Chain A
């Protein structure tokens, strides 16, 4: 289970279509496919129609080197019997191919009667990411201009910047979920990703820096000062130049202060994955059977929230047709709930929590995070840093990974500083922190009032499936965690 900010998996992609190809899917087709899917005795079936249209632009050495676009369209059919899943998909939405997919998925069951037909009703959904029109409808030249602004800002930042690459990717995803218990949900999920990377050189030293932003926005997001192309260009350049004189990081257990925003990667790895219901249903997570127990310091309230306006991990509806929700996972240190998908919620006798997600129509749904974060605390961030005699201040990250069975997790720092006598001093070379989820969360001793949600390009991997997620936290102090540097103290 991993999360990374280097999103190389984005669909390359696609031209805007005046009408959606999903418009042609009606209740009659859906009912016929569901009947075929349940024809061998399955207990439940769902259809997942997906249309993705995307485009991307890459600027290297000051010019647009390639433009890409593509469209995908497909249907995934799932049949459940007990805890078992049958799954098939097709890219051809002809009657013949769709029925073949339904019958292939039906194989998981091999006996049983014909299910009674259920009337299909549309599910009413909120809109957490109203985007007036897809960025795909805007002329490409406007997007090229954004990249040019980022490129110029990065180069102008410092003479030591020798290389800049800027990219913009946009996607328009439409999903239509129809279930055999009669739900029909349709959603449009826009996504914009913007990224700049820069390389700085000075006297034989070389360093790279990267800044990016992503969310369910239209192009209007670039009008925001903190998300402007210039802001990302300057930030990438600042990181590259700032790290030129980084010193070796210490090795061993230390006090660590995690800055607001993207340090939330700790929560994603330390508790997030371990609280996905499939691992707990199978008793393979180190949080198995711990509902109601103290699993973190009482300062910790940790939430998974698919309803944050325009956030990268937000969903009006999950990929099983359940509305996106805000779910408290840990309340003042007490474990109160798991993230549920359909199969696991049946097992636990509860309701799905809007966490059933999939990478595409080629993938079966799994319990997944949306936007996962720690709620704000009471401390002033300055006081938190000031309280540390010698430690590490972590500001930016590239990714992390967890082993959900034993709870060990790592996350990689790309910008961090030594704290000496309550002040940030030397920048440190890239380093990993390693800890154990429940152990580290019990050692959260101070929590800032400066909550921030990272707007970075976070992509979560599980069982080979990638989904966009959000992370967030206020400034946080961990009494002790192992810093994986090279320098003996």
Chain B
């Protein structure tokens, strides 16, 4: 195969511009008011994406494109419609505004859905250092180079790495703006880069074992070296050779940060004010009571500098602020957008997010389970236990808290990992799981917007052979 060219021809694309997004959002607000809306919110997003995939040393995919769209929520006589478009010609924008206002007539009056009060709105847009100019220089050629280096490092680490699902380099550059007639207009921009590798080994009985490792950050300088990413991916894959099933029974379970992240995200979901008023969370009546071990502290912080999930203002134009969800194991607050807050007769926690195609909803930003003092390796000092590296499937019932998921990892015996295990499930209730945490590692993983250290649960049911 020939070498792909380096993107010179496709690079005429304009850079996403937050001020232009803001101008369009404000223009749409004006059209909405002119066509009869009592209130309106407009979100504009403009972004470019680059994805490069290399497999077995050859380029498999180069994908590059830009995209811009607008999401609108209009209110008329307390009736709401949510609409979106990607047509930015002025005539089309005005027609879209008019149709959106007409559409709202189909909804039924709901004063809870009114826009936030003026005194709730953000007064400024903090600079959270989310934009790295140097990311713009990471072009197709550089993406291919990094992916190749990472994949090659994985393949040559050990002869038992026999195949590869490839290495993927990704880059996104985006701007967005939000304007609301409630009294806020702001914009921001951000970059993100990532690299992942997935080697494959052949195991006994014709089975294959795959593992992966990745790096990702808003700033290029924060990325892990491609070679190290590849080596770590290979190491994790090789460690799975000889995976077996273990007998059914109870044991302590240690979750790696990768596995724990999923549990933490699910816990935040049942701490959402939206789930509370919908009576679809087992924590609905539990504010102010213990919901986790006294060791557990959980915070949602949108203001982390360079944070993957940081946002300078929320999806309704309220100021972003850190919220302590759990401290000393006690549930301190539910995360609320304006609607959920009104339903629960309180103030919004500034936790709304919205996408182009939907209205505001409660969402986490950077969700962090605070690390403990225990060196991560010490969590595995168990006579017998399970170390979980991966979870599979959809086994959490938010309404009841019942929990059951597929799992893979290592069996621990005499304080050390004895052999890899798979094709098992772990189960409990979320109450018992979170209250059963008896140690938190010191190894907080900050790569993703849901961040946790390793942690150990004193006892769970494992279903195997």
Which residue numbers of A lie inside 8 Å of B, CB to CB? 2, 4, 11-13, 15, 40-41, 57, 60, 63-74, 81-92, 100-101, 103-104, 106-111, 140-141, 144, 162-163, 165, 199, 201, 206-208, 249, 251-253, 282-286, 288, 362, 364, 398-401, 403, 405-412, 429-432, 434-436, 482-489
Contacts and interface: CB of A to CB of B under 8 A. Distances in A.
Given A67-B82, A431-B427, A206 B358 contact: no
A399 B280 CA distance: 19
Contacts of A484: 395, 404-406, 424-427, 463
Nearest to B13: A100
A265 to B, nearest CB: 11
A428 B39 CA distance: 48
Contact of B80 (A65, A85, A87, A436): A65
Contacts of B12: 100
A409 B425 CA distance: 11
B393 A432 contact: yes
Given A71-B85, A252-B465, 7 more contacts: A70-B83, A106-B9, A284-B165, A286-B208, A406-B209, A408-B406, A485-B404
B140 interface: yes
Nearest to B282: A206
Nearest to B53: A85
B104 interface: yes
A432 B395 contact: yes
Given A91-B86, A434-B424, A81 B406 contact: no
Interface stretch (B28-36, B106-114, B323-331): B106-114
B406 A107 contact: no
Contacts of A67: 80-82, 103-104, 106-107
Contact of B423 (A199, A285, A436): A436
Given A207-B399, A282-B55, A484-B406, A403 B392 contact: yes
Interface of B: 1-5, 7, 9-10, 12-13, 55, 58-69, 80-87, 99, 103-104, 106-108, 110, 113, 140, 163, 165, 200, 203, 206-210, 243, 245, 248-250, 278-280, 282, 284, 357-359, 392-395, 397-400, 402, 404-406, 408, 422-429, 461-465
Looking at chain A's contact residues, the main secondary structure is strand
A81 B425 CA distance: 43
Given A206-B399, A485-B404, A405 B208 contact: yes
Contacts of A64: 106-108
A109 to B, nearest CB: 7
A429 B462 CA distance: 16
27 contacts: A12-B82, A15-B99, A67-B81, A69-B81, A84-B1, A84-B60, A89-B65, A91-B69, A104-B9, A108-B62, A201-B279, A208-B399, A364-B63, A401-B392, A401-B394, A406-B208, A408-B408, A410-B405, A429-B400, A430-B402, A432-B393, A432-B395, A432-B427, A482-B424, A483-B463, A486-B427, A489-B248
A258 B208 CA distance: 28
A68 B357 contact: yes
Contacts of A141: 106
A85 B53 CA distance: 9
A103 B10 contact: yes
Contacts of B81: 66-69
Given A67-B82, A108-B59, A484-B425, A284 B357 contact: no
B10 A252 contact: no
Q: Which of A69, A106, A283, A486 gathers most chain B CB within 10 Å?
A: A486
Identify the 8 closest CB pairs spanning chains A and B, nearest first: A484-B425, A104-B10, A410-B393, A410-B406, A252-B248, A12-B357, A251-B463, A70-B84
B34 to A, nearest CB: 20
A286 to B, nearest CB: 6
B107 A65 contact: yes
A482 B464 contact: yes
Contacts of B200: 284, 405
Nearest to B278: A163
Contacts of A100: 10, 12-13
Contacts of B461: 251, 485-488
Contact of A412 (B108, B278, B394): B394
A13 B2 CA distance: 43
Contacts of B10: 88, 100, 103-104, 107
Contacts of B62: 84-87, 107-108
A107 B210 CA distance: 31
Contacts of A83: 1, 58, 60
B462 to A, nearest CB: 8
Contacts of B106: 57, 64, 67, 140-141, 144
A49 B62 CA distance: 20
A488 B279 contact: no
A4 B396 CA distance: 13
A175 to B, nearest CB: 17
Contact of B404 (A15, A208, A432, A436): A432
Contacts of B65: 87-90, 101, 104, 362
B125 to A, nearest CB: 27
A486 B357 contact: no
A208 B279 CA distance: 9
B192 to A, nearest CB: 15
A4 B424 contact: no
Contacts of A407: 207
Contacts of B243: 406
A485 B463 contact: yes
Contacts of B63: 85-88, 364
A431 B404 contact: yes
A165 B277 CA distance: 13
Nearest to A208: B399
A13 B427 contact: no
A71 to B, nearest CB: 7
B405 A73 contact: no
A236 B303 CA distance: 41
Nearest to B5: A110
B3 A110 contact: yes
A65 B106 CA distance: 9
A412 B393 CA distance: 7
A12 B84 contact: yes
B395 A81 contact: no
A312 B276 CA distance: 33
Contacts of A201: 279
Contacts of A60: 278
A66 B82 contact: yes
B419 to A, nearest CB: 15
A408 B423 contact: yes
